[in-house]
Structure 1
Amino acid sequence: MLSLRLLAAALLALALCGTPPGASAQGFSDSQRGDIETIVRNYLIAHPEVLEEAMSELSKRQTAAEAAKHSASVAENADKIFNSPRGVTLGNKDGDVTFVEFFDYNCGYCKRAMDDMLELMKADPKLKVVLKEFPVLSQGSVEAAQVAVAVRMQDPSGKKYLDFHQKLLGGRGAADKARAMAVAKEVGLDMAKLEKDMASAEPKATLEENFKLAEAMGMNGTPSYVIGKQVVIGAVGVDSLKEKIGVARCGKATC
């Protein structure tokens, strides 16, 4: 909320424009300051829309500043965001727009987001999709993500990974190592190799890379996305995602 004292300070500054050189706000007496605050209060009561206009402008400026910050972070980390071998690439690997999703296997919103992602891939043959494990919710999430990294190591094509991803994220109950391993077996992975890959340095390195990227872009939850230069936090829905893909592709929501 815009404070009365902040508006009074602004009015004081305007008042000073007509005072002799060397005058300052400190030169006003307590009585004068009280009179100015009364004037501001009465004005706001008579014209409450001023507050709404001020807050709207403040929101626009904050949104623009946040977007600029995100854009700079994406540019600085672009290669690891879009092209890291530690991401799982689906859809059109040579697509004109890359859609990156950070997710957690225990995130309820990520279940809905998975449906959005599948719909986007089906409807947009020019879309490249990159999945990044971002286990922020529990130790079980970390365990499931480690299994997922080992699945990716065994399946460079991403086909079995996607099957694993859908079954684990779309299933019931909490995800942890035991459940993830059961799903991996169900989709036909080599379990001995999976255990070996999980014991390697790669799962830890993958999650560390993903967490560093998320931190750089101010992501604190899942799902989160990078689409072009845009960072999107939360399950915003397929229509909003389509609009952001359009902005990344041609500069406007609908190309």
Structure 2
Amino acid sequence: MRKLIAAALMTLLPFGAVAQDLSEDEVKQLALEAILENPQIIMDALAILEEQRNEAQALARADLLLRERASLEGDPNAPFIGNADGQAVVVEFFDYNCPYCKRAADNIKALIAADEDVRVVYREWPILGEGSVFAARAALAARAQGKYEEMHWGLMEMRGRAEEASVLALARSIGLDMDQLVADMQSEAVDSHINTSRQLAQSLGFTGTPAFVIGDALVPGAVPLADLQGYIAQARGEG
């Protein structure tokens, strides 16, 4: 860190061009004098450092997106809604107990209704307690009975927190075989999906839900429908 700050300072201090002809102690003394005369130099140096760090992180995430594109958009162990062959792909990381995810769910419904070429890939990322984990497992297990989407929307529309009792009550109401559901909740496929979601979210730098990957854009938060459509339009242009 000190070396990075020093490098940033050298780009700003007026004696940077001749510093190579000075001793280390002389450089330090001149730097101190310059900083005392103009404390803003420190703030400018930190701004340069932050910009360099942001650029490095952006490059790293762009490289990660390139490497993980197939896993994000085409993982057969990830449920999706919309057009199975849709060229515009939205990947959503979410938690059933996240109020912002519930808001985003309405936008996703509207997005699918308005654009027949969109596929929304779901990454169950339960981060808000045991109820969230139980709900995610139940939703993923419902896939084996062909009722993931019905279970998903039911959980998103649920009032109050998703907990074991309320999740199981919903499962019964949509006609799921409860014995099979409970068994499938502990399957390797369910474990793998949740673990992969966690690893991808951490690698992409997401810190909460909802979070979206649309083309090369990483989009945190419950963004408005118009913004989602804008990111999709941008992704289509990139394609």
TM range (shorter): 0.7 to 0.9
CA shift in 2, pair 1:169/1:11, >3 Å: closer
2:215 matched to which residue of 1? 228
- CA deviations 1:58-80 (Å, max 9, x no partner) are 76655544332222112212222
Unaligned runs of at least 5 residues, structure 1: none
Unaligned runs of at least 5 residues, structure 2: none
Distance 1:74 1:29 in 2: 42
Q: C-alpha displacement at 1:87, in angstroms?
A: 0.9
Q: Work out which of the residue numbers 168, 182, 193 in structure 2 matches 1:195.
A: 182
Distance 1:224 1:60 in 2: 23
- Asked if the contact 1:99–1:225 (Cα under 8 Å) also holds between the matched residues in 2, the reply is yes
CA shift in 2, pair 1:164/1:93, >3 Å: same
2:59 matched to which residue of 1? 68
Q: SS in structure 1 opposite 2:38?
A: helix
More displaced 10-residue stretch of structure 1: 160-169 or 141-150: 160-169
Cα-Cα RMSD: 3.1
| Count, aligned residues | 235
- CA deviations 1:171-190 (Å, max 9, x no partner) are 21111222112112222222
1:87 matched to which residue of 2? 78
Distance 2:12 2:195 in 1: 52
Distance 1:11 1:63 in 2: 18
Q: Work out which of the residue numbers 221, 228, 231 in structure 2 matches 1:241.
A: 228
- CA deviations 1:111-147 (Å, max 9, x no partner) are 1111111111111111111111100110111111110
1:179 matched to which residue of 2? 166
Distance 2:68 2:27 in 1: 52
Distance 1:28 1:59 in 2: 24
Q: Work out which of the residue numbers 199, 203, 207 in structure 2 matches 1:212.
A: 199
TM-score calculated relative to the size of structure 1: 0.79
Q: SS in structure 2 opposite 1:80?
A: helix
- Asked if the contact 1:226–1:232 (Cα under 8 Å) also holds between the matched residues in 2, the reply is yes
Distance 1:180 1:63 in 2: 41
Q: C-alpha displacement at 1:26, in angstroms?
A: 2.3
Q: Matched residues, percent identical?
A: 33
2:21 matched to which residue of 1? 22
Structure showing greater radius of gyration is 1
